[in-house]
Structure 1
Amino acid sequence: MGKRLWVTGYRSWELNVYGPQDPKLAVLKYMLKSHLQTFLDDGGEWVITGGEMGIEQWGASVALAMKPQWPSLKVAVMVPFADFGNRWNEDNQATLATLRQQVDFSASTSSGPYKQPAQLSGYTRFMVQHTDQALIVYDPEFEGKSKFAYEAAVAEGKRRDYPIDLVTMPDLEEDARNYGEQQAAQQDE
């Protein structure tokens, strides 16, 4: 297993998650924690993600919350261009800025502001080349923006050993059941 994990997947709106109180968010964070736990148990060191609202930001925040149990864990947020997120509303910009301050490392793969789609494909290439494996919350039957990350990871896997931990919609349904059972068991205690 590799030491550097790329965490990416659906945007919050693609999963119909609106705000930190959305009950689906608890299930998604439960799923992310479970997969990150496995990565760390296998000797993982870096969780590297992007700044997109959704799986990427939640993955970084879950990893940050795990640092007390895993002091050697490092978390990085990489963005595709210097002014990434500048068109978001103030709350979302503040959330991204806070997250980037909390992680161990954050930078953009392209130094200038957004100019062209090539910056996005360059970012995706950078992420697969600078990680050893990927955790992607994406289902090819439910396309979204994560399709490009998934395809890049699959292509990287044809060039070298690059394991992909793919979490599909049926996987998320199972995680929701497991989370519900765990919550019920805790209430019974």
Structure 2
Amino acid sequence: MNKLKTLYLTGYRSFEVGVFKDKDPKIQVIKKVLKEALRYYAENGLEWVLTSGNLGVELWGAEVVSELKSDFPDLNLGIIFPFSEFGSQWNETNQAKLQMVKQLADYVNSTSHQPYKAPDQLRNHTSFLLEHSNGTLMVYDKEFPGKPKFFVEAAEKFSENSPYLIHLITMDDLQNSIETF
């Protein structure tokens, strides 16, 4: 595989891992594991980390990328929403989190420039991310299905015909990380 230049970062939404408060210790564990993985990729030439701006792993990961920029000034954060007005239906607190992460990003856009209308927008978004990244870093465990299941299935299918890294951080990985925290 060519050097990993662009990585799509995704994973569980906050509610899928039982996180309902900003001070939940699970967030620190997830961020620690993400930071270790992203540091490894950045040391090996990673230039861009893309997310879709979902609450949970994606926003926490965006914060981690921002923290890593002090050590890796050439590391960039891109947020590619699946449609315009993404997050506009969220409560004020969550909209503020999204706004803060947008300010950390080096690039913000959406694959569809219309508000959500149909599932095709989500499929097109997945295709775009697969075609514009060399791999994915996901906090996802197949034993605990959730929304990221759709992306991991698409990535596995995509990787049958194209070199595409799929790096899953499982529940065991998170558990093992707690023991070394």
Q: Does 1:130 align with 2:132?
A: yes
Q: Compute the TM-score of the two structures, normalised by the length of structure 2.
A: 0.96
Residue type matched to 2:90 in 1? W
Counterpart selection for 2:141 from 134, 139, 142: 139
**CA separation in 2, counterparts of 1:87 and 1:28?**
26
Residues 10-49 of structure 1, C-alpha deviation per residue, up to 9 Å, x if partnerless?
0000001122210111101101100101111111110111
Q: Which runs of 4+ in 1 moved over 3 A?
A: none
**CA separation in 1, counterparts of 2:50 and 2:60?**
12
User: For the aligned residues, what is the CA RMSD?
Assistant: 0.9
Aligned pair count reads 179
**CA separation in 2, counterparts of 1:73 and 1:34?**
15
Q: Secondary structure at the match of 2:176?
A: helix
Q: Which residue of 2 aligns with 1:20?
A: 22
- Structure 2, unmatched stretches of 5+, are none
Give the superposition deviation at 1:86.
Answer: 1.0
Residues 42-69 of structure 1, C-alpha deviation per residue, up to 9 Å, x if partnerless?
1111011111001111111100111011
Map 1:18-167; keep pairs closer than 5 Å: 18-167=20-169
Structure of larger gyration radius? 1
**CA separation in 1, counterparts of 2:70 and 2:120?**
38
Q: Compute the TM-score of the two structures, normalised by the length of structure 1.
A: 0.92
**CA separation in 1, counterparts of 2:120 and 2:178?**
37
Residue type matched to 1:34 in 2? E
